[in-house]
Structure 1
Amino acid sequence: MTETTSMTKKSKKSSAPKLFPDELIDQLLAQVQNKDAESILGESGLAGLLKKQLAERMLAAELTHHLASEAKQGKSGNHRNGSSAKTVITPNGELELDIPRDRQATF
C-alpha cells in the first residue's frame, strides 16, 4: 500500500502590512472632487497637498524643538513669529511652503 500526500503550495507573495488603513484612504479620496489621476497624484492634487502639509508639519516640529532647546540653554524671549512663503524645488517640480519663523531669526 502506498501513501500519497498532497502538498499545497503556499504563495511566497506575502503582503506587507498596510501603512495606512483603507478607511483613511477612503476619507482622503472623498475630499477629491474629480477622481482622475491628476486630481489624485498630481502636484496640485491630493498627493501634492499631502506633501505640502507633511513638509510644513515637519518644519513646525523642527521649530518647536529649536525653541525648546534655546529655552533649555537659558536663552529667552524667542517665540514663533508667523511664517514666510518660500518655493522649494522637489524632484517633481516646485512646491510652495509656508516656512515658520521665530522672532530672533535663529531658526
Structure 2
Amino acid sequence: MIDTMTTKKPRKKKEPYPFPVELIDQLLAQVQDKNAESILGESGLAGQLKKMLAERMLAAELTHHLANEDATSKNHRNGTTPKKVLAPGGELHLDIPRDRLSSFEPQLVAKGQRRMP
C-alpha cells in the first residue's frame, strides 16, 4: 500500500513592512479620488512622495555641505533652482537647493544630470 499523504511545507513568514501600515492608511486617507491614477500616477500620491523625498534628501545634502564649511565662511542657503529630471516613473520637477557661493554640488542629481538613478 502506497502512502498518499504528503507532508506540508512550512509557510514562509511574511516579511514586515519597513514602515508602519498606519502611515500608509493616513496617506491614502488624504487622497480625494481613490483610483489608480490619483494614487500611483505622476501627479498622484506616489509622484508627490518621490518629489518630497528627493527634495528632502537634497536639503540634507546642502545642510551637510554647509556644516563642513569654515565657521567664518559667508556661505549660506540661497533659495532653490527648478530642475526637470527623468525618473523611472516619469518626469519629476524638483527644486534644487543652492548656496550663496555656488559651491554646492548635489550628489543625488548632479549638475547637468537629467536622469535620476
Task: Please classify the TM superposition score into its range, dividing by the shorter chain length.
Answer: 0.7 to 0.9
- Alpha-carbon distance between aligned partners in 1 of 2:37 and 2:27, rounded to the nearest angstrom: 15
Q: Deviations over 1:45-101 (max 9, x none)?
A: 000000000000000000001111123xx6611000011111011122211001101
Unaligned runs of 5+ in 2: 1-6, 105-117
- Alpha-carbon distance between aligned partners in 2 of 1:17 and 1:90, rounded to the nearest angstrom: 27
Relative to structure 1, the CA distance from residue 75 to residue 12 in structure 2 (aligned partners, 3 Å threshold; closer, same or farther) is: farther
Unaligned runs of 5+ in 1: 1-7
Structure holding more helix per residue: 1
CA RMSD of aligned residues (A): 1.6
- Alpha-carbon distance between aligned partners in 2 of 1:38 and 1:11, rounded to the nearest angstrom: 38
Q: Offset at 1:11?
A: 3.5
Name the counterpart of 1:19: 18
Kindly report structure 1 stretches of 4+ aligned residues shifted beyond 3 Å.
8-11
Letter in 2 for 1:97: L
What percent identity do the matched residue pairs reach? 71
- Alpha-carbon distance between aligned partners in 2 of 1:11 and 1:29, rounded to the nearest angstrom: 34
- Alpha-carbon distance between aligned partners in 2 of 1:10 and 1:79, rounded to the nearest angstrom: 61
Name the counterpart of 1:69: 68
Name the counterpart of 1:32: 31
What is the TM-score when the length of structure 2 is the normalising length? Answer: 0.77
Name the counterpart of 2:45: 46
